[in-house]
Amino acid sequence: MAISLRFHLSAILLSAACFSSTTNAANPSIASDDTASVQKLTESGFSLIKNDKGEIREITVARDKNSDALMPLVAGLPNLESIQFSGPGISDSGLEVLTGLPLLKKLDLSGSGITDKTMVIIGKLKNLQVLNLRLTGITNDSLVNLKDLSKLRAIDLRNSNITDPGVAHLSSIKSLVDVQLERTKITDSAVESLTNLTALKSINLNTTGITNKSLKLLGNLTALESIQADAARINDEGLPFLASLKNLKRLRLRDTDITGAGFKSLAGLTNLQRLELRITSMDDEGMEVISALPKVDYLDLSECRLISKTGLAMIGKLKGLKNLELWETKLNDEAMASLGELTNLVELNLEATKITNDSISTLLKFSNLQKLNIAGTQLDDEAVAKLAALKKLKSLNVSNTSITSSAVESLEKQLPGLEITK
């Protein structure tokens, strides 16, 4: 979702904080860009972004065709701070050019065809702050090349073949604040090797082999602000270890075996803003804790089937909510009425819930709504016609309902620009 606290990682979570392409006194121009190189790269499909002085600071391309012959032209852009090269057409060949770019801070080679040879080159980029190697074929041994990158703050190794020995090579990079390991083949041993990274603020362990042991280890990293551990082998016994993380803002534990009894131990994490608990055994006991957290503005309880309508009604206490995901829960008209004061909502997912036209009066209170999903509900043409009052609405999903095409067309005329999925 696009709203609420921006912890999403389309590339690397802390890229915005770690890197800025705006020219300042610390990033002076090295030399003028080479006109011929600019022209050839542009003609070849590279996207070049300039700063307010007209200097090219960012370059992006996704190529399927071999790009070896084009790589030397990058040397003609000496002021580059950010590079994003993806696709199988990007290989090791020609990437030596990177070592001649002293201002380079962000390097994204996700989905490219690089191997360990490029890692030797990356190890020479002393000013690098953000490195994305997602979906690449690098091996454990290649990560040793990064040990001297003392300014590296964020690394993305998602969907790679990295295992515990590879992650151990990161333990010496004390500047790291963000480590992304989703869908790697790691275990608790990898997390243990990262426990000396005391500046770490964000860690993504989604779909890995970690257990409660890793939660115990993470509990000692008190700077942590974001933990993601979807589909991990964790349960209520591990949650108390996180109670010491008073700076925690995001907790994503989807598809794990946690309940309200375990979540009670986290009642003191009053800085939590984003909670993603989809497909867990969260229940009414847990809702009493969640509803008392003062800063939550993003809440995903989709497919939490143990929460009763009474528990769902407690969500109404979270007045700061901007994003609420309740897909396939027991929400009905009665519980929906209890949410009427959530007037800051911008995105709301009610798919496959039990609401009927009786909930439309509550929906109309959400005047800031931009995205609404009512697919699979019992709302009909009469209800959808009234949604025209939501003037900020940009996206509406009405699939699998009795809402007719004529009602959709009528709403589209009243709200130009509204995208409706039928």
Whole-model pTM: value is 0.93
Pick from 251, 272, 202: which is nearest to 16 by CA? 202
d(CA 73, CA 75): 5
Residue 33 tokens, joined = 């860009």
Pairing mode, strands 178-180 and 154-156: parallel
d(CA 137, CA 139): 7
> Is the Cα torsion angle 98, 183, 223, 251 positive or negative in sign?
positive
Pairing mode, strands 47-50 and 56-62: antiparallel
- Position 29 scores a pLDDT of 73
Contact, 303 vs 329, CB < 8 A?
yes
- Position 30 scores a pLDDT of 77
Q: Which residues contact 409 (CB under 8 A, 6 or more apart)?
A: none
422 exposure class (CB count in 10 Å sphere: 0-12, 13-18, 19+): middle
d(CA 190, CA 210): 9
Residue 288 tokens, joined = 């009493």
- Position 26 scores a pLDDT of 52
Ordered structural domains, the chain, with CATH: 11-156 (3.80.10.10)
Residue with tokens 């790679």: 160
pLDDT in single tens digits along all 422 residues of the chain: 343 333 344 344 444 444 444 444 456 777 899 999 999 999 999 999 999 999 999 999 999 999 999 999 999 999 999 999 999 999 999 999 999 999 999 999 999 999 999 999 999 999 999 999 999 999 999 999 999 999 999 999 999 999 999 999 999 999 999 999 999 999 999 999 999 999 999 999 999 999 999 999 999 999 999 999 999 999 999 999 999 999 999 999 999 999 999 999 999 999 999 999 999 999 999 999 999 999 999 999 999 999 999 999 999 999 999 999 999 999 999 999 999 999 999 999 999 999 999 999 999 999 999 999 999 999 999 999 999 999 999 999 999 999 999 999 999 999 999 999 99
